Chain A
Amino acid sequence: MQYRTSFVLFTFSQFAITFLDFVGILVLFANVDSLAGWSLAEVAFLYGIANLAFGLADVFVSPVENVQVAIRAGTFDQILLRPVSPMLQIVTDGFSARRLGKLAQGALVFGFAVAAVNVDWTAARVAMTLLAVLSASTIFGALWVATSCVSFWWVEGREAANAITYGGSFLAQYPLGLYGPWLRRGLAYAVPVAFANYFPATYILGRSDRLGAPSWIAFASPVVAVAVAALSALAWRIAVRHYRSTGS
């Protein structure tokens, strides 16, 4: 915390940028009453879970993308020489409290949505909400890890990988019914962000527009999250074994 002012300004600007992002949704709702049948509070609920979870993943997992820098510079050699998991070393080395701004905005919108939605907060729904936030953070975190693996084969692959992480979290901010069938399938099966917030939200908010999916799908999120995390951990292991080092 050497540069206090810079830290405060950066965190605030992160907060402001993401906050303006939500203002966009408010403007949208000034003109329409619903998006794909979802009210403002309900969309805010989706958006809140997405950004809260993405913010958590951003703070704790996203520094893993720095692996690209380490691979290019060859400093990944040193990381592999120390008796600590490479993932842990990269993530702790790149930790930055500045990313908290984004997380704060997500938490704020989430808080607003929880207060505004018309939901009978039974124990099951509260538990489901917590599980949804956890599963969503796990899914976003797993996406960061999986896409960072690209760097081991293709050092310049970072931008393509960002399309999946940032793109996925962006699409998760709106109801799935808004998208065409191919995009919906992609968000359910390929980059499973629909499980991060949409399916749990249909249960919590008592909505039936699961787009043909069975009703139990709302409870599948933790399973999907664990599966995606396991797959990305496997991808990471394979990637580390393929590390080619640099000439020296």
Chain B
Amino acid sequence: MIEAENLEKRFSVLRKAGRVRRAREDVVAVAGVTFTIAAGEMVGYIGPNGAGKSTTIKMLTGILVPTSGRATVAGIDPTRRRIEVARRIGVVFGQRTQLWWDLPLRDSFDLLRHVYRVGAEQHRRDRDELTELLDLAPLLDVPVRQLSLGQRVRGDLAAALLHDPEVLYLDEPTIGLDVVSKARVREFLAARNRERGTTVLLTTHDLDDIERLCSRVMIIDHGRLLYDGALATVADRLGEDRVLVVDLAESGAALNVPGARVVSVEGPRQRLAFRRSEVTAAALIAAVSAVAEIVDLSIEEPDIEAVIRRVYAGELTL
């Protein structure tokens, strides 16, 4: 359904080089990525800020023209036939709305019906269904600018799906949402994918999004794909390295417990790195309390950016 072949995007930027002189410099945003996403798949696309996620999506929607390489969406080249592709895709950018700022949702939906030339009957049916699933009924007559972020994202989702697209691109759809709103959006997306077979490409910083929605994940950094495969592999790897933070009753030298390595000592607080596969958290805590009195403790899960950086640096292989 979505194909990218050596997709590359460079931007040339002007940098200051002296008082008036400007040097032209090439910045590579996406450095030749290749992947294929089958119809009905739900794929997570992750990577740190500036890795090239949004740029890839913008090329796959026809917003940006690739510097080289080729993309096809539903068999159509989005660069040459952008308008045809636009009819078949839905896009939600979590950071910015596609809706008309001053119009109530109802009017935005109505306008979109005309923009996408959806029949009145079909439009009413789909709109009512989306309104119910996303719980938008009480919000239909509120101008978009008065909606909360969570409400607005739900409105955006409905707007992106009104023309029943085959492909849905989501760029950080859950950014800034509270736990309840996140859960609701995820639930909705999973159902949509299951029931209509909509192909979904999702970028996010929230590993939970991926865990709950995607069986396949692609990791990108510095414009290159570092990993493309099953989520299970990544999840194991990501979840393996953890840090136990203990606040001891007294400051002292670094603890020496088997199966863990002390990363830092800050007064009474010590941080111990350990691997889930080598020692359990419970065993480690027991080992620590055998040698020192623990006042408080917590366990830190590795954050995604750190792990991806390590993958990139070659320290970790997936």
Contact = CB atoms under 8 A, between A and B. Distances in A.
Q: Do A and B come from one complex?
A: yes
Interface of A: 74-75, 77-78, 80-85, 241-245, 247-248
B98 A245 contact: no
Contacts of B95: 248
Contacts of B62: 80-81
B171 interface: yes
Contacts of A85: 83
Interface residues of B, number: 25
Contact of B98 (A78, A84, A243): A78
B254 interface: no
Give 7 nearest A-B pairs by CB, closest first. Answer: A83-B86, A83-B87, A83-B83, A80-B63, A241-B65, A78-B98, A248-B95
Contacts of A74: 96
Interface of B: 11, 50, 54, 58, 61-65, 79, 82-84, 86-87, 89, 91, 93, 95-96, 98, 115-117, 171
Contacts of A81: 61-63, 86, 89, 91, 98
A143 B4 CA distance: 38
Nearest to B49: A247
A82 B115 contact: yes
Contacts of B96: 74-75, 77-78, 248
A247 B62 CA distance: 16
A240 to B, nearest CB: 9
A236 to B, nearest CB: 14
Contacts of A78: 96, 98
Nearest to B83: A83
Contact of B63 (A83, A84, A245, A247): A245
Contacts of A84: 83, 115
A243 B83 contact: no
B65 to A, nearest CB: 5
Contacts of A243: 63-64
Contacts of A80: 61-63, 82, 86
A194 B172 CA distance: 53
B68 to A, nearest CB: 14
7 contacts: A77-B63, A81-B62, A83-B83, A83-B86, A84-B83, A84-B115, A245-B63
Contacts of A241: 65, 79
A186 B220 CA distance: 52
Contacts of B93: 77, 248
Contact of B11 (A75, A82, A244, A248): A244
Contact of A245 (B50, B64, B79, B86): B64
Contacts of A83: 83-84, 86-87, 115-117
A16 to B, nearest CB: 30
A84 B91 CA distance: 15
A81 B57 CA distance: 12
Contacts of B63: 77, 80-81, 243, 245
Contacts of B50: 247
Contacts of B64: 243-245
Contact of A248 (B61, B83, B117, B171): B171
A78 B108 CA distance: 14
B20 to A, nearest CB: 17
Contacts of B86: 80-83
A248 B95 CA distance: 7
A83 B81 CA distance: 10
A248 B54 contact: yes
B306 to A, nearest CB: 22
Contacts of A77: 58, 63, 93, 96
A2 to B, nearest CB: 11
A75 B99 CA distance: 11
Given A74-B96, A83-B83, A248-B96, 10 more contacts: A78-B98, A80-B63, A80-B82, A82-B86, A82-B115, A83-B115, A83-B117, A84-B115, A242-B65, A244-B64
Contacts of A245: 58, 63-64
A15 to B, nearest CB: 28
Nearest to A79: B63
Nearest to A77: B63
A230 to B, nearest CB: 20
Contacts of A248: 54, 93, 95-96, 171
B50 to A, nearest CB: 8
A82 B86 CA distance: 6
A242 B65 CA distance: 7
A242 B87 CA distance: 22
Most buried by B among A77, A85, A243: A77
Contacts of B89: 81
B94 to A, nearest CB: 9
A82 B114 CA distance: 11
Nearest to A74: B96
